[in-house]
């Protein structure tokens, strides 16, 4: 299994267009690297690739990734389809970038597919896609040989969506039957749900929600109440003790908000994370399992 971490930032990226917080200012001054919004590309055979979430930055991410370059024909693409962890705008707006590709398959929780009905209607005027609901804990075999299983982790629906409570947010477990390698991807984690320790323990690599370092981070960074608690992201201060219990698993934080001090390698927060054996990688990082 080959994995490219296309983007590592939370919604808005780093720097965020309307923010002058410390990390955003440091990126603009050239002291820290810029980060695009969270997304992943996964392949079992190195030929066909699956995108996990499609951020508004997807066009630039595809252009920056040689493995995802089109060819050999003028309109051939190695992108076989998409898996969505949720229906948030920063994970779905990039679907429009793919509108010219015929025959893509999009897997997502049923509630997410329902919320995307207006988007699906628009995209249907460009190309015919297959929209397939993922059933919790029911493995699906993807083209290229990978097995993927969805695990519900949160019932948080996006602000724009209506509909019943349900499995709005999932983590994906990718398994390569050829090597036995297991990747767990959970960029949105509202809490540490029951059974999640077992998923982390069995994984070779886990990419986990690192949106905020502290519970009151956004308010402290922006100088105004932020509503951070309602955003559905477990802060690193609460998840890091959980990760310490799994030293045999390679652990990586992703989906980093622009206010997060962990973005700065010189910060004590970054030292705390890396001191626990957990990584903070940059956009474009490659993982082979």
Give the per-residue pLDDT at 219.
Answer: 64
Mean pLDDT of the chain: 95
Give the per-residue pLDDT at 224.
Answer: 64
State yes or no: pLDDT of 227 exceeds 70.
no
Q: pTM value?
A: 0.95
Instruction: Quote the CA–CA distance of 185 and 41 in Å, as a whole number.
Output: 11
Give the per-residue pLDDT at 59.
Answer: 97
The number of folded domains in the chain is 1
CA distances from 180 to 52, 164, 175, 203 (A): 20, 37, 6, 10
- 179 with 289: CB under 8 angstroms? yes
Beta-carbon contacts of residue 266 (< 8 Å; ≥ 6 apart): none
Give the per-residue pLDDT at 31.
Answer: 98
Task: Work out the percent of the chain whose per-residue pLDDT is above 70.
Answer: 96
The enclosing domain of 41 has a CATH number of: 3.60.15.10
Question: What is the mean pLDDT of the segment spanning 255-262?
Answer: 97
State yes or no: pLDDT of 232 exceeds 80.
no
State yes or no: pLDDT of 223 exceeds 70.
no
144-186 residue pLDDT tens = 999 999 999 999 999 999 888 888 999 999 999 999 999 999 9
State yes or no: pLDDT of 210 exceeds 70.
yes
- 256 with 10: CB under 8 angstroms? yes
Beta-carbon contacts of residue 69 (< 8 Å; ≥ 6 apart): 78
Q: Which residue has the higher pLDDT, 27 or 228?
A: 27
In the chain, count of helices (H) and strands (E)? 9, 14
Bridge-based pairing state of the strands 105-108 and 130-133? parallel
Give the per-residue pLDDT at 229.
Answer: 63
Question: What is the mean pLDDT of the segment spanning 202-216?
Answer: 95
Domain range for residue 248?
2-288
């Amino acid at each position: 299994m080959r994995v490219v971490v296309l983007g590592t930032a939370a919604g808005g990226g780093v720097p965020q267009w309307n923010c002058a917080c410390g990390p955003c200012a440091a990126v603009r001054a050239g002291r820290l690297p810029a980060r695009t919004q969270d997304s992943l590309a996964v392949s079992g055979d190195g030929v066909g690739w699956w995108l996990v979430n499609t951020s508004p930055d997807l066009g630039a991410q595809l252009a920056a990734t040689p493995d995802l370059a089109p060819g050999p024909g003028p309109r051939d693409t190695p992108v076989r389809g998409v898996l969505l962890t949720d229906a948030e705008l920063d994970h779905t707006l990039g679907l429009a970038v793919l509108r010219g590709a015929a025959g893509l398959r999009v897997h997502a929780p049923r509630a997410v597919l329902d919320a995307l009905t207006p988007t699906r209607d628009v995209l249907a005027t460009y190309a015919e896609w297959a929209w397939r609901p993922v059933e919790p804990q029911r493995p699906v075999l993807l083209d290229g040989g990978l097995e993927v299983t969805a695990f519900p982790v949160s019932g948080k629906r996006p602000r724009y969506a209506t509909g019943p409570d349900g499995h709005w947010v999932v983590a994906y477990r990718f398994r390569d039957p050829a090597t036995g390698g297991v990747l767990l991807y959970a960029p949105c984690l509202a809490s540490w749900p029951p059974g999640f320790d077992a998923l982390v323990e069995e994984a070779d690599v886990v990419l986990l929600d690192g949106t905020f370092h502290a519970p009151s981070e956004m308010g402290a960074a922006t100088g105004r109440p932020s509503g951070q608690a309602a955003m559905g992201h477990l802060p690193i201060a609460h998840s890091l003790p959980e990760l310490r219990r799994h030293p045999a698993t390679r652990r990586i934080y992703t989906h980093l908000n622009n206010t997060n001090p962990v973005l700065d390698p010189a910060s004590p927060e970054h030292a705390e994370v890396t001191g626990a054996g957990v990584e903070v990688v940059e956009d474009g990082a490659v993982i082979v399992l």
